[in-house]
Structure 1
Amino acid sequence: MEGGGTLSDLYQKSKKLLLGTRDALERLERIDSSSYSSSSSSYYSASLSNPAVDSPDLALSIKKDIAQIQSLCVEMDRMWRSVGSRPQRDLWKRKVEQVAEEVDSLKESLDKHLLRNQKRVLEARERTELLQRAKGDSAHVLQDFDEEAQAMQSARNSSLMLDEAYATGVAVLSKYAEQRERLKRAQRKALDILNTVGLSNAVLKLIEKRHRVDKWVAYAGMFFTLFVVYVFWRWTH
């Protein structure tokens, strides 16, 4: 699957993604603060002249990175359980749990940002409607804010669909991980029995070959799941 490698490699990649995602989220918050520091009409004018203020695209990019980190956490959670040394296993467990907590915090901050932006756009729309009734000449401004509100709603809908797709992917990956652990335990028991009765090396090699095939089947299933999630995300945009 994407992000394959050793446990240490996956951990370093997840930490790098966490750092980049945190910076992107801070940039999104700065855009939010500067955009709404003036009146609603001034914010809309600024967004037309400065494409960087178009925060939905940045928010969706952050959402994608968060989903990738969560996928890495699923894979790391499977791998640390196979570490032979008990102290090392406990250390990796704490590290993976820390990454999972950090990415959950980032996801919560992003969701709050999207809700806050949607609320502000709706408030700006209501102010524009009042202004239109008072002056009778601001219909075009109301239309502009309608488009902005629709863009924010679209971003939130896309975010929810990504959440659902990610949850499905995580469930499938977890099933693959559980099946692989069961196969490994069954293989170890079988090897113990075969060694006891003195079965030939040729049969043992055949069993190991079957194990490798099962492992690649599991990896192929994980990759296919992530590919479906990616295609779904691309299709919705």
Structure 2
Amino acid sequence: MAMAVEGGGTLSEIFQTAKKLLLRARDGVERLERLESSTSSGGLDSPELSFTVKKDISQIQSLCAEMDRLWRLIAAKPQRDLWKRKVEQVAEEAESLKQSLDRYFSRNQKRMREAQERAELLGRANGESAHVLRIFDEEAQAMQSVQNSKRMLQESLSTGSAILSKYSEQRERLKNAQRKALDVLNTVGLSNSVLRLIERRNRVDRWIKYVGMLITLAIMYFLVSWNR
């Protein structure tokens, strides 16, 4: 005896609809599990498929609830017991698929958390690596600055040494010039003494000449006067 369902359909029709949905949901769960274990897809999720499977299982459970109400209305006990076993079988399989889907969702969420944790760890590792690289870069810059300072100091020392060497050479040249100047001055001093001596001799000679002339004139005057 087939019981009519409010809104259309008998218990048998509802059962057939539930079986079709059950087959589709089972196929969907298997496809999700294959995707999960596939190495080529890397365990990728299929949101559309998982949503469809979940919707089918929910609809099957709703149909099971309706069929559970209808089989209780069957008057004949043998048919009632038969429909009870059929409905319970569909409900059990729907529950099994629901548990499989829930486990799939749980594993998928776990993979997402692990992927997020890996990304965070990688981000922190990259951040620490960047920090270490920044430290190394700062140390390298400090070493470069020290090398530059050392090179500048060496250049300054070399320049100072060259300047001191030049000053030493100039001092030696000044000493030589001073010695030559002293020699010249000594020579000039000796020449001046000779000149003064010559001038003094000249003056003496002139006086002698003048005196001799005066004496000669005096003698001549005396002789002239004597002859008169």
TM-score normalised to structure 1 length: 0.48
TM-score normalised to structure 2 length: 0.50
Structure ranking higher on relative contact order (CA contacts 8 Å, 6+ apart) = 1
